[in-house]
Amino acid sequence: MYGMINEGIRAFILKHHDKETWEAICQKASVGDQQFDGMKSYDDGITYQLVGAISEHTGLSSGEVLTKFGSHWVDYAGESRFGNLMKVAGDSFLERLNGLDDMHARIQLSMPNLKPPSFKLEEVADRTYRLHYFSQRTGLDSMVVGLLYGMAEETGEKIKVNQVAEKSDTVDHSVFEIAIVN
């Protein structure tokens, strides 16, 4: 993953804790770097190690850590140099959700080694949608849940998310059901 993700994790910890907590997490994760170059590609294992260390330090499950981080990521990425790319997709939650693949394609111009996920949105009933999440990576479904809630909050909408399928050896992607409740 690119260092921007790990820097986002660092910012997340510093926002909710302090520098000493971040240093302790890096030590638990056996991560020497305490700051990351946002435009440099790092081994995915570093991110997973950081999430595991945060889980151990806070007593939250890895899933809870990723959900909270996913929600935080929306604001963090929005303040980055790529922040306007999400807003270009539109003002509503659904417009932005439909624009995720285009946003990642534009980001890939600056980050050629980026292996972004892909999303497909389908309407299944009035104000109810299924989001199909395709990724080369595993274990990040909880982050997607957090991202969805963060995106809805940013656009002033309320949603309820339920995961209905998880990527596995027999299923090639995860699926989330999203109900817009306002």
pLDDT of residue 83: 64
Determine if residue 30 is left, alpha or beta; phi over 0 gives left, psi from -120 to 50 gives alpha, anything else beta.
left
CB of 2 closer than 8 Å to CB of 39: yes
pLDDT of residue 50: 98
Stretches where the chain sits below pLDDT 50 are none
For residue 89, give the nearest of 76, 78, 79, 80 by alpha carbon.
Answer: 78
pLDDT tens for 86-139 read 666 778 999 999 999 888 777 777 787 888 999 999 999 999 999 999 999 999
In the chain, where the domains are located? 3-59, 77-180
CA 136 to chain centre: 14
CA gap 75, 150 in Å, rounded: 8
pLDDT of residue 22: 96
CA gap 83, 98 in Å, rounded: 16
Query: Would you say the pTM of this structure is higher than 0.95?
Result: no
pLDDT of residue 85: 64
Fold of 77-180: H-NOX domain (3.90.1520)
